[in-house]
Amino acid sequence: MSFTEIKNERFGEKYYTLRHPSGLTIMVCPKEGFESTYAVIGTRFGSVNSEFVHNGVKVKVPDGTAHYLEHKLFESEEGDAFALYAKTGASANAYTAFDVTCYLFLCTDQFDESLRILFDLIQSPYFTDETVAKEQGIIGQEIKMYEDNPEWRVTMNLLQAMYQNHPINIDIAGSVESIAEITPEILFECYHSYYNLNNMVLCVAGDVDPDTVLRIADEKLKINEPVQVESVFPDEPYEVKQTLVEQCLPVAVPQFSLGFKENAPKNYASTKQLLCTNIILEAFAGTGSALYRKLLDLDLINSSFGTEYMEGNGYRAVIFEGETRAPQEVAAIIKEEVRRLHQTGIAPTDFDNAKAVAYGKIAYGFDSTYSIASEMLNAAFTGRGVYEAAELIESITLDDVNQRLKEQLDPDNCSLSVINSIS
């Protein structure tokens, strides 16, 4: 058993990958001379995966189960994994997103021992009635905290306005009521369905030898037989559910999030589509764009203004967000600019500048262990190649970008979420 080397001649980069006998996909990018090493292991199980078929049996779990499971995996009969990481000096964390759950650490030394802890963590589920009940109070407090968080509420309110049926419109942590339904049996069901090593990927970037990673994997990983698991999603209409949603919270300046809903098949965007989107957003709303200057000159935005592309199984959306004294005016100006670009297309000069920025961001990412490992993980889960964007970007044309703009920015199919100041 040996690694396969994947090279990118353009940037002089390479990584190594193999499918371990345990079932785990391992990807390692050695960066000689780097001070830190970043490791992340992820599973294709997030908040949207609340309904699935496991070995022919349909299962529906309470909202927030994936996030709950993430919390509980840090506990074992031997103690808390954070305490073990403290002894190695590694900075450890985990997160649950809409479609993945990931466990990670960043270290400058004692990599071997930190990786052993990570492998033990994801292979040692320990759920009892007592420990699960104890966690309900902790996560319940976290849920209440996010209910009062303006940045989170403006995003979740937007998703609830945009999506009629897809579980992307449900809070990642669930609700106090939904997590009260979670039991050890439910957590074990999800664990055995999605935390099978055949469904997981380990990505490591830093001053590390791939053979070291393989040696520790051979030492710690148990062989997993593949399982049959398939997530189930409802059909989602193209049209948004509602065009405007508002909430009042104690903010100094109102916040807005304007989302353009895209027709989304049950897969991820291609690398070409993603590159076109990145170029569009830079040309259309980057800090050098005419739109950004106009909004800034009118004192309608500040440095918090930005864009995001959200995608997953059955959902895709372009989002504009930030602080503003006049959310509906900003939204109207953005939609007016979208309509204009549908007629004229992006100007060639703006396209060239935006393409150069996109290229620079790709190159810059190879200097960050976090960016490298995250890109490898993203590639493994989406089916896009790690170096595919670096190879394709030069071939992207202005026609490609203008066609993509019409596909994903529909001014008649968008929602505006606003967090207003409490009077």
DSSP-assigned beta bridge partners for residue 230: 53
What DSSP letter does each residue of 320-384 carry, written as one string?
EEEE-S-HHHHHHHHHHHHHHHHHH---HHHHHHHHHHHHHHHHHHTT-HHHHHHHHHHHHHH--
> Residues 183, 184, 189, 192: what is their CA dihedral angle, to the nearest 10 degrees?
150
What letter represents residue 171's amino acid? Answer: D
Known active-site residue 113 = no
Measured in residues, the chain has a length of 423
Hey, what are 247's tokens?
Answer: 């909430």
> Cα separation of 152 and 384, whole Å?
29
The angle that helices 210-220 and 111-123 make with each other, rounded to 10 degrees, is 40
Contact 205, 376 (CB under 8 A): yes
Strand order in the sheet with 244-249: 244-249, 414-421, 255-261, 315-323, 306-312
Task: Choose, from 70, 135, 262, 282, the residue flagged as catalytic.
Answer: 70
Q: Pairing relation of β-strands 25-30 and 200-206?
A: parallel
Which residues are catalytically annotated? Answer: 70
